Amino acid sequence: MIMKEKVSSLKAIGLEALLRRLPEHHSRYADIENELRKTRAGENGERILANVFQQYQFPFKHYVFHDVNLQSTGKFQIDTLFLFKQGAVILEVKNIAGHIRFSEEHNQMTRTLENGQVDAFECPSVQLERNKILLEDWFHAHHISMPIYQAAVFPRPQQQFENLRKDLTLLFPLEIPVYLRRLSSFHPTIDVSQLTDIANKITDAHREYDPFPLTTTYGILPSELLPGVRCKQCGSFGMQSIYNGWGCRHCGKVDPHAHVQALLDYFMLIDYRISNKEFRRFLQLDSVQKAKRILGQLGIPFEGEKKGRFYVADLKVIRELHDLSASKVPK
């Protein structure tokens, strides 16, 4: 049973918004582009892993969690956590192209691309071991005792490896069911009701990962971002407030909903709370009334009254604004 589905990562969505508002000559532009590329590659790998569990039916009681975030002696995130009577299995995805070599003596893997370029990465065993220890601590705090298994998943079946590490299990996606069925032949360490109880505890303890605000994360000043409402048709900033929404000075597009993305950008990039004044400054809007109407119509929760009022977004509000903005693409 899939207890927690794979959802699209807000981090990639936030990084895309950051790149749109960051001037191309900014010193961090290339870093942010690189971060977005890595985040998307990770996401694609995790989606391939999630598909395995969607397509495959296991003939025994089990629970699957994708992107689970827990806290014990430290915060940790597991790409996929599989629970059954034999124990817990941590699966971490590494979506890295090229020929991969794991060295016996160093906690490093090197990959060689076809053009001969060689890059070094931290060995997935480091992250797996760290997550295993933190999950053990979490189990210990909840009076749970069961074995923890771990494997790194490489989503490209055509990839070549040289694995000299005896302690590291590497799997391609289609090998996962075989690996889990083999473990399921081991002696059970808990019964079905204990298993369900543990799955419920994990569901209750999970907190969605919050990467925002991104300017703080990446050390960028909010004043360095391009302000204004962006035209979805031509990509330019500075749409003007008109009676039925927003008008683009460059391509003439009229969009009644263009402010949604701008407000979302503010919450993801600058701060999770915004006043009417800050909203007007960021959207380059003069009318206090229009600002108030927009914020009210979008149903953003608020604290305080009059000039001391702040509209406050949590991850749920951010996800709703994203879905709303994505569904309002002007024709």
Site residues, Zn ion (CB under 5 A): 231, 233-234, 248, 250-251, 253
Sequence-ordered list of residues with C-beta below 8 angstroms from that of 248, at least 6 positions apart, any chain: 231, 233, 234, 236, 239, 240, 254, 255
Shorter beta-carbon distance to Zn ion: residue 130 or 250? 250
**Shortest gap between Cβ of 235 and Zn ion (angstroms)?**
7
**Shortest gap between Cβ of 250 and Zn ion (angstroms)?**
5
Please answer whether residues 19 and 30 qualify as being in contact, where contact means their C-beta atoms are separated by less than 8 angstroms. Answer: no
Shorter beta-carbon distance to Zn ion: residue 42 or 228? 228
Burial readout 140-166 (b: 16 or more C-beta within 10 A, e: otherwise)? eeeebebebbbbbbbbeeebeeeeebe
Torsion of CA 187, 134, 173, 96, to 10 degrees: -150
d(CA 288, CA 265): 20
Shorter beta-carbon distance to Zn ion: residue 10 or 229? 229
Shorter beta-carbon distance to Zn ion: residue 124 or 247? 247
Shorter beta-carbon distance to Zn ion: residue 62 or 253? 253
Shorter beta-carbon distance to Zn ion: residue 83 or 262? 262
**Shortest gap between Cβ of 233 and Zn ion (angstroms)?**
5
Sequence-ordered list of residues with C-beta below 8 angstroms from that of 299, at least 6 positions apart, any chain: none
**Shortest gap between Cβ of 252 and Zn ion (angstroms)?**
7
**Shortest gap between Cβ of 34 and Zn ion (angstroms)?**
29
d(CA 217, CA 229): 23
**Shortest gap between Cβ of 237 and Zn ion (angstroms)?**
10
**Shortest gap between Cβ of 255 and Zn ion (angstroms)?**
9
Q: How many CA atoms lie within 13 A of 275 on its CB side?
A: 9
- CA angle centred on 235, ends 33 and 286, rounded to 5°: 115
d(CA 34, CA 79): 21
Shorter beta-carbon distance to Zn ion: residue 177 or 330? 330
d(CA 151, CA 91): 5
Distance in Å from the first CA to the final CA of the chain: 40
